[in-house]
Structure formats: structure tokens, C-alpha cells
Amino acid sequence: MSRDPASGMAAGSRPRRPVFLQPLQIELPVTATVSFGHRVSGLLLALALPFLAWVLALSLRDPAGYGRVLAGLHSLPARLVLVLLAWALAHHCAAGVRHLLFDAGIGTTLPVARGSAWAVHAFALAVAALVAGGLW
């Protein structure tokens, strides 16, 4: 099947429309960056899950394993990852609560949705900064 390279649509299936897919030139509204951040943070958290299971198993195995986990979590790369994951967890939770409120019909007008979107970004950065402060 031949596809239109710009739209990805099957050729001839839709009338041709102008397509402008230049992510760096499109000015995304803050609600869109929160939506994208929700995806990115969810993906990061999902990638961290196997490591969480590993850390849990190792920390419960014996005192040596417990010590290895503590020492490992205090290493520089681990601390950087922890700050990133703290951002991801805070962002994902806050944006998720915002979504649940939308489901309940709360905060769905544009000014309120914009305000809560800024609040999600601010909260996530604040949590990441607090965790960074606690780790250094």
C-alpha cells in the first residue's frame, strides 16, 4: 500500500490536507507539554520497575545485600537517576490526579486547565529539587 510520506495516510484515502510536522517550530501550549510529560514520565517509571524489583530482592536477602543497595543508591550515577525518577514520579502523579479530576468534570475550562498544567510542571520540578537537596 502506498502511503503519503507527510501524513502517513494511505494515498487516496483522505483528501490532501496541509501537514506541518516540525515539532521544534510548533509552539506547544503548556497543556500539551504536560500531556507529553505524562507519557515520558510514565515510560521512565516503567523502565525503572525491574530495577525496583531487583533492589527490593537484594535489600531483603542478607545484610550484605542491604549494604550494597544503600551504597549503590548513594553513588553519583544512582543519585542522578533518583532525581530524574523523583521528577517522573511527581509529574506522573500530579498529572494523573489532574486527569482524574477531569474525569470527574472538575477543572475542564481552559484557564483552569492551563493553570493546573503549570502547577503540575512546578510541583514536579519542586519535588525533584527537594530530592536533589536531600541527596547532596
Which residues sit at the interface with another protein, rule CB under 8 A? Answer: 8, 39, 42-43, 45-46, 49-50, 52-54, 56-57, 59-60, 62-63, 66-67, 89, 93, 96-97, 100, 103
Using a 10 angstrom Cβ sphere, with 0-12 exposed, 13-18 middle and 19 or more buried, the burial of residue 44 is middle
List 65's β-bridge partners, or say none: none
Q: Whose grid coordinates read 494511505?
A: 10
Strands (E), the chain: none
Q: Which is nearer to another protein, 69 or 110 (CB)?
A: 69
- Closest separation in Å from C-beta 111 to another protein: 25
Q: Which is nearer to another protein, 63 or 111 (CB)?
A: 63
- Closest separation in Å from C-beta 12 to another protein: 19
Q: C-alpha angle 104/108/109, rounded to 5°?
A: 155
- Closest separation in Å from C-beta 46 to another protein: 4
